[in-house]
Structure 1
Amino acid sequence: MADAIGPRLYACCNCRNHVALHDDIVSKSFVATGERRAFLFSHVMNVAVGPKVDRRLITGLHTVTDVYCSDCREYLGWRYEKAYDEAQKYKESKTVLIKFKIVKDDW
């Protein structure tokens, strides 16, 4: 009998704290500052958030909070709290993690 395969987890690049599940990726086509690839997740775990701030991003004005690893405080990305453009509302309550800030955990 084959071994059961567990969930595919992403971890913090610095301390390997589990921060997201592969199955929770909504989009892989996001871009962070400096043309770095990023993923949009419906849920994340083991993260701390900063204060809410209004920030003008590529897609317009949003209220966001920066997201950090809850163990080592490595900056990982940001969470959309509010989108002012109706077409961007789907991002609300979702989190962007910068690809080079997260690593696959044993998969």
Structure 2
Amino acid sequence: MADAIGPRLYGCYNCRNHVAFHDDIVSKNYVGRQRRRAFLFSHVMNVVVGPKMDRLLITGLYNVADVSCSDCGEVLGWRYEKAYIEAQKFKESKTVLEKFKIVKEDW
């Protein structure tokens, strides 16, 4: 008999709005702004993408945009819009969510 368990979701730590599926994690080896653990996701949902800006990160210069919860407005991470280093192009259109800003929902 198959399990009736649904997909594993992450929610905003502040309001529990669903923002990502566990299966969309590309990497768990990222570091957020405050040197805390972060995850790279291929897709996120229920977020608002802020203005684009160039930002120098650990692995180089990127054009990024902060992403916020669409319900409460809490900044949860950032989206890579453009990587200026060829070896980092795989990050484009992916989103980093800081682990302390998201919570496991229903699992």
TM-score, with length taken from structure 1: 0.97
Aligned residue in 2 for 1:92:
92
Aligned residue in 1 for 2:55:
55
Aligned residue in 2 for 1:7:
7
Does 2:91 match 1:103? no
CA offsets 1:24-48 (integer angstroms, 9 cap, x no match): 0000000012210000000000000
Q: How far apart in 2 are the matches of 1:31 and 1:3?
A: 34
Q: Shift of the alpha carbon at 1:106?
A: 1.4
Does 2:35 match 1:69? no
- Spell out structure 1 runs of 4+ moving beyond 3 A: none
Q: How far apart in 2 are the matches of 1:65 and 1:2?
A: 40
Q: Matched residue of 2:79: which SS?
A: strand
Q: How far apart in 2 are the matches of 1:20 and 1:66?
A: 16
Q: Which amino acid aligns with 1:13?
A: Y
Q: How far apart in 1 are the matches of 2:105 and 2:32?
A: 22
Does 2:17 match 1:17? yes
Structure 1's unaligned 5+ residue stretches are none
Q: How far apart in 1 are the matches of 2:74 and 2:63?
A: 21
Structure 2's unaligned 5+ residue stretches are none
Q: Which amino acid aligns with 1:93?
A: S
Q: How far apart in 2 are the matches of 1:7 and 1:55?
A: 33
Q: Which amino acid aligns with 1:12?
A: C
Q: Matched residue of 2:81: which SS?
A: strand
Does 2:65 match 1:42? no
Q: Shift of the alpha carbon at 1:6?
A: 0.2
Q: Which amino acid aligns with 1:52?
A: K
Pairs aligned (count): 107
Q: How far apart in 1 are the matches of 2:29 and 2:91?
A: 13
Q: Which amino acid aligns with 1:105?
A: E
